[in-house]
Amino acid sequence: MRRREFITLLCGAAAWPLAAHAQPPSIPVVGFLDAGSPSERIQQVAAFRKGLAEGGYQEGRNVALEFRWAEGQYDRFAALAADLAQRPISVIAVPGSGVGALAAKAATTTIPIVFGSAGDPVKEGIVASLNRPGGNLTGVNFFTAELVAKRMQLLRKVIPSASRIGLLLNPTDTENYEPTLREVRAAAGAQQVLPLDVATGRDIDKAFDNMAREKVDALFVSPGSFFNTKRVQLAILAARYMLPANYPVRAYPEVGGLMSYGTDILDAFRQVGAYTALILKGAKPADLPVLQSTKFELVINLNTARALGLQIPGDILSVADEVIE
């Protein structure tokens, strides 16, 4: 072997361990399973990342995120959760859906799961109890299902003359369907409730045509990520049909809906991120009690109220967390 070739080979061999040592160490991967879509969950994902950062984890530096989106189709959860469970995932975060949490629970009994649930996670079978979740799940209860009666009370105050209330429900959303229907009927009093099942954008169009024929006076939209993904369509149709509507979260009045009352969803996603960080540090889900959301907000779009010819009562305006003008 010629001298130059020998030196080149020798130097190359010496470099191999250095090159291998220079590879970045493996970092934990968090599976992010959500009922929405990437385009409409930008703020929520940012809030989740903020919670992770509060616990010392930054994406790309010491943690990676692997996303799976149901895009409002709850029947996709089982396949998406099963796919994540087959991968080298450290934690599965399901920040916005009890249905997704149940799918993740069915997919794995070993990977820790941090959920966000609109309803009661004990009644839904997600955890054994709030203080001692047991198993591999813990998370945040953000109460949107429990706030239905309060939302109906606000709607009746704003439109006291309404005699017929249209109620949009997603039959595939088992977390919210029955509780919302039950609570709306209980809170309606003498008002007649017209339940309308919708699971696609086309169904929503048909529902508004139906409400016009039935001379509905106001609209109540059930909680759930499917409706969140359709919030612009809902706001446009409510304006076209001159229907005052009450929605579950602030994202609706931000795009032209009349009013919302509900949990501060961004704070709930932040809490899920913070709990995920705790588990990455070694905490066990069974030892972390389910958190209860404490931040709620009333948002009113005054421009929409004027367009509908509504006068929002002063006592409601005075307690609103935000009035959009």
Q: What is the pLDDT of residues 203-225, one digit of tens each?
A: 999 999 999 999 999 999 998 88
Residue 279: per-residue pLDDT:
97
Give the pLDDT confidence of 227-246 residue by residue, as tens digits.
Answer: 988 999 999 999 999 999 99
Residue 216: per-residue pLDDT:
96
Q: In the sheet that 192-197 helps form, which strands lie side by side, from edge to edge?
A: 192-197, 164-169, 218-221, 245-247, 259-263, 296-301, 322-324
Q: Which of 290, 315, 35 is nearest to 140 (CA)?
A: 290
Give the pLDDT confidence of 81-113 residue by residue, as tens digits.
Answer: 999 999 999 999 999 888 899 999 999 999 999
Residue 168: per-residue pLDDT:
98
Residue 62: per-residue pLDDT:
95
Range of weakest confidence among 7-11, 58-62, 174-178, 227-231? 7-11
Q: Other C-beta atoms within 10 Å of 35: how many?
A: 28
Give the confidence band of 145 by pLDDT, cuts at 50, 70, 90: low
Q: Other C-beta atoms within 10 Å of 79: how many?
A: 12
Average pLDDT over residues 137-160: 88
The mean pLDDT of the chain is 89
Give the confidence band of 294 by pLDDT, cuts at 50, 70, 90: confident
Is the confidence at residue 259, as pLDDT, over 80?
yes
Domains and CATH numbers, the chain: 29-144+264-296 (3.40.50.2300), 148-262+297-324 (3.40.50.2300)
Residue 67: per-residue pLDDT:
97
* ∠ Cα 146 149 153 (to 5°): 145
Residues of the chain with pLDDT > 90, as a percent, come to 70
Residue 14: per-residue pLDDT:
38
Residue 196: per-residue pLDDT:
97
Residue 6: per-residue pLDDT:
37
Is the confidence at residue 186, as pLDDT, over 50?
yes
Residue 117 to residue 35: CA distance in whole angstroms: 12
Is the confidence at residue 23, as pLDDT, over 60?
no
Is the confidence at residue 21, as pLDDT, over 70?
no
Using DSSP's 3-state secondary structure scheme, residue 283 falls into: coil
